[in-house]
Chain A
Amino acid sequence: MNIASLAPLAVVLPILGAALTFLLIRHSRAQRAVSIGLLSLTLLLECFLMAAVWDGGTVAVSIGGWIPPWGIVLVVDQFSSLMLVVSSAVSLAVLVYATGQGMADGDKDAPVSIFHPTYLILVAGVSNAFLSGDLFNLYVGFEILLTASYVLMTLGGTGPRIRAGVTYVVVSVVSSVLFLISIAMVYGATGTVNMADLAIKLGELDQGTKTLLHVMLLVAFGIKAAVFPLSFWLPDSYPTAPAPVTAVFAGLLTKVGVYAMVRTETLLFPGDTLNTPLMIAALLTMVVGILGALAQSDIKRLLSFTLVSHIGYMVFGLAMSSVVGLAAAIFYVAHHITIQTSLFLVTGLIERRGGSSSVDRLGGLAKISPLLAILFFIPGMNLAGIPPFSGFLGKVGLLQAGVELGTPLAYALVIGGVVTSLLTLLAVARVWNRAFWRRPADAEHPDPVLLAAPGQPVEGEALDDEAPADRAGRTGLAAPVLSRAGSGGSSTLVRSTLMPRTMVGPTAGLVVLGMALTVFAGPLFGLSDRAAAEMLDRGPYIHAVLGEDVTVPAVGAPAGAGK
């Protein structure tokens, strides 16, 4: 028995955890232990899954023993296992961070007891979407994660969150309805929803029907992935959620959309019928997104716009439908999940330490907290694609693939990619200059914690979170910071730590993971190459699901101008 047949556990364990944490809703300590323990176990299992398929070999698990085209299958291949490992590692870090924030702030701002079960359901939905080998099961995975994300988005039910939640829910439901319509049409045209079976049967349809189904699916996934004309909901809704929630949304949810687009483009509709529109969408996503980022003064909003912008790189790699391009896109997805999440987590810390997330009101953080500065600087430079980091490697891979393709549009995208990278550097440097380098006195309405005169004694021992060397810079911190949760009444003045270890630890862990992606870029690119080659070949996937005796149709459709 193959270890990969344990794949359903990646979905079942988080759901089990959600049930347990829901029962333990009054015992926050046990709840924390259960959720972190079960998520770690899931991560461990997924590492084994990835090891099992590292050198090739797609494994399909039929749920309930029903034979594939009829039963539901979960499929583990290199791409899905890589996504599973990265997403679980990131969500574990965010869970620890959120737990730390909950312990520091109490239950007021965000009901932490509800957070744990909902979060685990979200993780289960993400895993289900990554593993699914069945179009309708993919829809169910999307719905699981979306429903959990609605709750997380509006956690606490404050005015701004409800406002942002409305946009988010309506847009997500509309995209889900579009997805469901596409499934109905696909089923009506082919009589199956199994993706491997569809890969064979969709090829037999005539070109018009095929293009219609293809466009419908891409639009539905494009809304979820926030590709340019469909991306306006994202910067509106993400920034208002609590920092850890925004972080996990930014890291995972859009990438699930990208994952689904990759499967659509490679498995269901191979060939290059829609590559030109996809490339144009990628170019516009990159450029429009980053121009939006430059106009923002709030760090969370700025990062949301860079998130939209960098989705363009992944779509670019996907739209080239060459092994090199797809491999670079896969690497880029793994890199971007880690980096974007760690940046949002750091922003959460900045907001606690500096009292605001608006660059206009921040200043002098590099002196007050050098650790925070390092934690922001490394992923920031990584996002902008400065040479030693993984962002650079991913972008170079994409640019190389674009130059190799050599069409005028590919060159336009290569130029657009470089410009976007530079503008990202500008946006990140602006945040760095203002929030970290300038004097606090230069900021507008700086928070009192930034201005507190050095020399005053630190009240309380709550600030024992950083290296001793950092102490000198932090003695300026006088005022015990009132929990921002208790802004309502003076009786609830809860003193909380500004940067508890449980929040700095996971952030630093993610930053280190981002650097590990740089150090181990060689093996990872090898894995991405193999994954891309297998996905474009389609043979391993279809054979794993339907058995060895199925003939895989050739990729170049008779009507399409294949390359």
Chain B
Amino acid sequence: MSINLALLLVMGALYACGIYLILERSLTRVLLGLMLLANATNLLILATGGYSGLAPMFSKDTAAGDYNDPLPQALILTSIVISFAVTAFMLGIIYRTWVLAREDEIQDDLEDLRVAETPSFDAEDDAEIPAETSEFPLTMLGGDGQDISDHRPGSGDETSGGREAGARVHGGTATVLAGDREMPTEHAAQEEKPGSPNVKPSPEGDGQ
């Protein structure tokens, strides 16, 4: 089977441009990229139908083996219809993005960023718990028998336990890793409490 080289080159160029465009952040360019990819694929399907010059339609004086394969054209028609629907939908989405945000760019996922920024210190899981958790506050003794009720976090006394593994000590202040920066443990604990910028109840009440 020989294939039209020009068609093949066009197909390659369409794929290259399409892939370049879908890597952009602008939605309109992404849409153009998707359209180019779909059309390049249509050319690919067309190429599987054999070389040009064969009879596309039935006529009495054509031998049975001399027809062009009709199936790829049927497949292309289906795929054109589908890509048409997807393009229309994408245009709708782009318009909606423009209406909502006056922006043609793909937005970041805020929850992703929030999870990445959340300190590894969690007030409920990782706060220092007195070794004695009895309801009778007779003595507040640490594991080593010292009084820990006024124990400063990060004074270097690791035996009191309870500190999670990510905590480190820098010049008298314990710090934890939050995202790619370090923050003092107390700030981290503060962030988990009401009023912190890390938890913003939205008007819809779903706490993003």
Contact surface of A with B, Cβ cutoff 8 Å = 136, 140, 143, 147, 150-151, 154, 157, 159-160, 162-167, 169-170, 173-174, 176-177, 180-181, 183-185, 187-188, 191, 193, 236, 239, 295-298, 301, 351, 355-358, 360-361, 434, 442, 444-445, 447, 484, 487
Contact = CB atoms under 8 A, between A and B. Distances in A.
B47 to A, nearest CB: 7
Closest A-B pairs by Cβ, 7 of them: A188-B48, A358-B207, A184-B45, A163-B107, A356-B207, A184-B44, A143-B82
Interface string B30-61: 10001001100100110110000000000000
A174 B82 contact: no
B173 to A, nearest CB: 24
B97 interface: yes
A166 B48 contact: no
A136 B69 CA distance: 16
B129 interface: no
Given A147-B86, A157-B96, A169-B93, A358 B206 contact: yes
Given A143-B82, A301-B111, A487-B203, 6 more contacts: A169-B86, A174-B34, A297-B118, A357-B206, A442-B124, A487-B204
A475 B203 CA distance: 26
Contacts of A187: 45, 48, 71-72, 75
Contact of A361 (B75, B111, B207): B207
A212 to B, nearest CB: 14
A257 B25 CA distance: 27
B7 interface: no
A170 B31 CA distance: 8
A444 B192 contact: yes
Given A166-B93, A167-B106, A358-B206, A188 B34 contact: no
A176 B90 CA distance: 15
Interface stretch (B149-157, B159-167, B193-201): B193-201
B44 A181 contact: yes
A177 B41 contact: yes
B205 interface: yes
A79 to B, nearest CB: 26
Contact of B89 (A150, A163, A176, A361): A150
Nearest to B72: A187
A143 B79 CA distance: 10
16 contacts: A136-B75, A157-B96, A159-B101, A163-B109, A170-B30, A176-B82, A177-B38, A180-B79, A184-B45, A185-B44, A187-B48, A187-B75, A298-B111, A301-B111, A355-B206, A445-B199
B139 interface: no
A186 to B, nearest CB: 9
Contacts of A181: 41, 44
B27 interface: yes
Interface in B84-117: 85-86, 89-90, 93, 96-97, 100-101, 106-107, 109, 111-112, 115
Contacts of B205: 355-356, 447, 484, 487
Interface of B: 22, 27, 30, 34, 37-38, 41, 44-45, 47-48, 69, 71-72, 75, 78-79, 82, 85-86, 89-90, 93, 96-97, 100-101, 106-107, 109, 111-112, 115, 118, 124, 192-194, 199, 201, 203-208
Majority secondary structure, A binding face: helix
A351 B82 CA distance: 36
Nearest to B46: A184
A140 B27 CA distance: 26
Contact of A173 (B27, B86, B201): B86
Contacts of B118: 297
Contact of B96 (A162, A164, A444, A445): A162
Nearest to A188: B48
A269 to B, nearest CB: 20
B187 to A, nearest CB: 16
B96 A296 contact: no
A360 B194 CA distance: 11
Nearest to B30: A170
B89 A147 contact: yes
Contacts of A236: 109, 112
A165 B93 contact: yes
Contacts of A140: 78, 82
B48 to A, nearest CB: 4
A217 B38 CA distance: 17
Contact of A351 (B101, B115, B203, B206): B206
Given A162-B93, A444-B199, A170 B79 contact: no
Contacts of B86: 147, 150, 169, 173
B201 A445 contact: yes
A360 B111 contact: no
A540 B194 CA distance: 64
A476 to B, nearest CB: 18
Nearest to B3: A188
Nearest to B82: A143
Nearest to B34: A173
Nearest to B203: A487
A443 B205 CA distance: 14
A188 B72 CA distance: 10
Contact of A166 (B27, B78, B79, B206): B27
A167 B93 CA distance: 11
A159 B100 contact: yes
A170 B34 contact: yes
Nearest to B123: A444
B82 A444 contact: no
A174 B100 contact: no
B133 to A, nearest CB: 15
Nearest to B192: A444
Given A159-B100, A173-B34, A445-B194, A166 B106 contact: yes
A160 B96 CA distance: 12
Contacts of A173: 34, 86
A357 B45 CA distance: 47
Nearest to A177: B37
Contacts of A184: 41, 44-45, 47-48, 72, 75
Contacts of B48: 184-185, 187-188
Nearest to A298: B111
A159 B93 CA distance: 10
Contacts of B201: 361, 445
Contacts of A165: 93
A2 B134 CA distance: 72
A444 B45 contact: no
Contacts of A357: 206-207
B121 to A, nearest CB: 14
Contacts of B22: 170, 174
Nearest to B86: A173
Nearest to B1: A188
Contacts of A297: 115, 118
Contacts of A434: 124
Given A166-B97, A169-B90, A236-B112, A188 B47 contact: yes
A360 B111 CA distance: 14
